[in-house]
A and B are shown apart, each in its own frame.
Chain A
């Protein structure tokens, strides 16, 4: 079965991803996302019920470090690339 994505779904994903898409982009992604989902649908042929997931392959487990204070970036360095700053803080849009 061919995967369908509604325009509303695409708009919802864009909102989750914090992306502003043009009308053309919404149309284009609606088609392309469905195509990509179709092309990966064959994974359902593989029975994975009894298979555990692999999230990383390094073999490391529970990596700890000493909780000690060490030098870090200065306030000046941290703010060096900020477009807007005020008295040593980043300035952001209001979020509430």
Chain B
């Protein structure tokens, strides 16, 4: 087995036992990138040197001092940050080394990585298919064994959905758990960085490094990261929402029903629940996100850095336009305020659900990875794609995506959602499912 194919857990163990050096692991990943990235196209920038550190990839919307940071937009195609995002800094402090910056939807405006201003990333399972997005480059790089792990960011689904479509593990922590400092902002009340990894254990390692209060981001919270306790599965109640199953296409639903049986066999109690119809969450999310986008993207004037506003692509402009409208005089109450009120309803709905169950499981995406070109026809492609991840992001809840099997050679993602600050429970449940199913051992031929 080549070193680039190892999980982070295996790499850490191998280094501890002096089987190989971090430098050898870095070199193996760099070689893999050189060998196959012209097919996958996950990376925008690749570190030129070999470092004596375990390599990771990070989405190109994280500021990396002295390293090009574009957010896959022509507006920032020459932007070299003079400071580091907190998440990146914490990984450097922990001794990891930057392998490269990964492709994404331009300014994270999409769920396909197809709206990147530079190029499309390909799904390692089938190069004619999309990797999902917006953290598509990070998810594809992990699945293709180009890196040991990667960092993504999520506003709604941008970690979970590409992880599902590429067949890797993606953890979206609770909003406020991980600092947004130095992450190019999209929807400030929703944005959350998180790990994309080969296994659940890896996700936990990276999560514990990047999470925690940051004085540079006032929305981060001071809730301690307690070590995960051993849980008795017989005491765990898992909710299955009929609305979420109904939204999924038949083959995806079938795999999720199989996953439910795995938890039942582990001893968990499975309870049918009903959640607020996710179709409303799409609309709430559309308003909140477009409004916050129009506000956040107002800063790009081409004066202090980057290029002027004529460099926004059509999807950027479409979002800025709608958000400007929903925030404008006379429409604010009807749209933004209305959406914020229904946000309260969605939060309360989850509060009620978590009185009855400990976690909720369901599909991540209603479909398998779609073909390249699919996102270009529908201005609401992303929202429809992300119908099953938007309600939880609106409520700020943590969730994970992990592989739950394959259909026609493409992976299906299982989603586990829990109440705020319950990342430990999610990780324990995911770990147990992974130990039973071992889908992470199946790799694509590229």
Residues in chain A within 8 A of chain B (CB atoms): 10, 13-14, 16-21, 25, 29, 32-33, 35-37, 39-40, 42-44, 46, 48, 51-60, 63, 65, 73, 77-78, 80-84, 90-92
Contact = CB atoms under 8 A, between A and B. Distances in A.
Given A35-B379, A46-B342, A48-B342, A60 B176 contact: yes
Given A43-B280, A54-B347, A65-B215, A13 B342 contact: no
Interface string B298-317: 10011111100110101001
A16 B332 CA distance: 14
Interface in B53-103: 78-80, 82-83
B374 interface: no
B395 interface: yes
A54 B343 CA distance: 6
Interface stretch (B256-264, B333-341, B358-366, B405-413): B333-341
Most A CB atoms within 10 A — which of B220, B283, B309, B337?
Answer: B283
A43 B302 contact: no
| Ranked 8 nearest A-B pairs via Cβ | A57-B396, A81-B305, A53-B340, A58-B176, A40-B283, A48-B341, A77-B82, A63-B218
Contact of B80 (A43, A58, A81): A81
Contacts of B395: 57
Given A19-B321, A21-B317, A53-B337, A46 B219 contact: no
A36 B322 contact: yes
Contacts of B298: 17-18
7 contacts: A16-B324, A20-B309, A33-B318, A33-B321, A55-B189, A60-B176, A91-B303
A60 B220 CA distance: 8
Interface residues of B, number: 56
Contact of A25 (B283, B306, B317, B322): B317
Given A35-B379, A55-B340, A18 B175 contact: no
A59 B309 CA distance: 35
B294 interface: yes
A40 B303 contact: no
Interface string B272-286: 000000011011101
Given A32-B318, A57-B189, A83 B218 contact: no
A11 to B, nearest CB: 11
Contact of B325 (A20, A33, A78): A33
Nearest to B346: A54
A60 B175 CA distance: 11
A10 B317 CA distance: 12
B379 A36 contact: yes
Given A16-B328, A40-B287, A59 B344 contact: no
Given A51-B341, A81-B82, 11 more contacts: A13-B325, A18-B309, A39-B283, A40-B283, A40-B286, A40-B287, A40-B335, A43-B284, A57-B420, A82-B304, A90-B304
Contacts of B322: 33, 36-37
Contacts of B310: 20
Contacts of A92: 303
B47 interface: no
A14 B325 CA distance: 9
Interface in B341-379: 341-345, 347, 379
A91 B175 CA distance: 38
Contacts of A63: 218-219
Contacts of A32: 318, 379
A17 B80 contact: no
Nearest to B177: A58
B266 interface: no
Contacts of B328: 13, 16
Contacts of A59: 176, 221, 420
A54 to B, nearest CB: 4
Nearest to A30: B321
A25 B340 CA distance: 30
A82 to B, nearest CB: 6
Contacts of B317: 19, 21, 25, 29
A66 to B, nearest CB: 9
Interface string B186-219: 0001000000000000000000000000010011
B380 interface: yes
Contact of B345 (A20, A48, A56, A84): A48
Contacts of B220: 58
Nearest to A73: B82
A58 B325 contact: no
B25 interface: no
A7 to B, nearest CB: 13
A35 B34 CA distance: 44
A72 B383 CA distance: 39
